[in-house]
Structure 1
Amino acid sequence: MALGLFVPAILLVNYAKDAGVPDSEAAFLLSIVGFVDIVARPACGALAGLARLRPHVAYLFSLALMANGLTDLSSARARSYSALVAFCIAFGLSYGMVGALQFEVLMAAVGAPRFPSALGLVLLLEAVAVLIGPPSAGRLVDALKNYEIIFYLAGSEVALAGVFMAVATKCCQRCSQDAPASPGAEGGASDTEDAEAEVDSEPLPTSTEKPGDLEALEVLSPGTAPSELEGEAEPGLDSESV
């Protein structure tokens, strides 16, 4: 996604100059993108917060990616200033939607406890993609002397990312519906936990013996036979009577 998302905005001014637009008007195109982006981000965030759209925020993010990619593809042959202004409005709108929804989708995917670490990983991968994408696009422009191919490549990459996001979301939802819910996942305790709870709840056995009723215990010595112990255990019998 990030590999081609920022390429059109970076090459927009030079692309407009190559189309014959004056320098001042070409620079104003970036201002149009910024103004539309400022309006699109909070509006899309409020839209994603609605109760009906909240469960489908991943599909809304996929729609924003596909819209951004199709905007790049359609503007590859824009040569007039009015066409470039229309491209800037559409690009700023879709770009603002992507920027507002990507963290919402990340939160829904990993949950609040894992969100900080997931956010760091996503930003790291985006930084690597931004480090590779625009410089590579600039090298292609210098080699081919053509901006149309760059817009085609960037738009195709972003649009395919949106399609992949939608398909992956649908597959994950099907897998979660088909998977049987475990007792522990629904909040109930497992069999092992129930057994441990029953053992802990059983009362300890109480002794019925009094402190003075302790029986004498005999310890077997190495030379003592079992028959001798039996004879000593019977009261009133001595060795002669036996």
Structure 2
Amino acid sequence: MKRRILLNCDMGESFGAWVMGNDEHAMPLVDQANLACGFHAGDPLIMQRSVALAVRHGVAVGAHPAYPDLVGFGRRHLACSPDEVKAQVLYQLGALDAFCRAAGTQVDYVKPHGALYNDLVRDDALLEAVLEACAAYRPGLPLMVLARVDNGRERRLATAAGVPLWFEAFADRAYQADGQLVARHQAGAVHHDPQRIVEQAVAIACGEPFADCDGQPLRLTADSLCVHGDNAESLAVLERLRAALDSA
């Protein structure tokens, strides 16, 4: 492997008596935990427990803010204005960071969730709003965005806002030729074969090409790899992926 790549997972996405993921077993396998902040999943007790679990295992805490959409799990596009999005991100950041401060840590980065994450790829005003929220909350707070074939737009807007960027790729998602994710409603958008997920992850980590949705070679440069916690195979994949990345 030419350089070390981090491994992240969306966590803290349970709500009340409803359980999502297997955070207790997954947390020791990752470097970064993207924790729900109450808008798409998570509640105060879940957030508190998730932060404590991350601290126990030395895992960096990332805020995972979303549109206010508990029913749709944050995966529906809402017509929120840039001012609303900036306020929503600040609100969620503050909520999660309160639990971090109480546990002796802090929010290390911001990774938007679901529809908001995808909207940032297409909407300059929304991306600027999230960048402004990061800059206003704490100077130097990084924003994690989708690694694509060309991230010049994101770099330009982030530089103007004074916000560091971390680029993320997905081990368990299918890609279009330009590096955008295949929409979840399309067949084959999410990989379920553990071997395929591991192979795609290792290829990205090593800077090697992997197949896009049309079978053509795609190469991405990323700082962190995500495996979704709501994927039924996520725990088994994380165990294999951790071993593969550590030995590559």
Normalised to the residue count of structure 2, the TM-score between the two structures is 0.22
More helix by share: 1
Structure showing greater Rg: 1
More strand by share: 2
Normalised to the residue count of structure 1, the TM-score between the two structures is 0.22
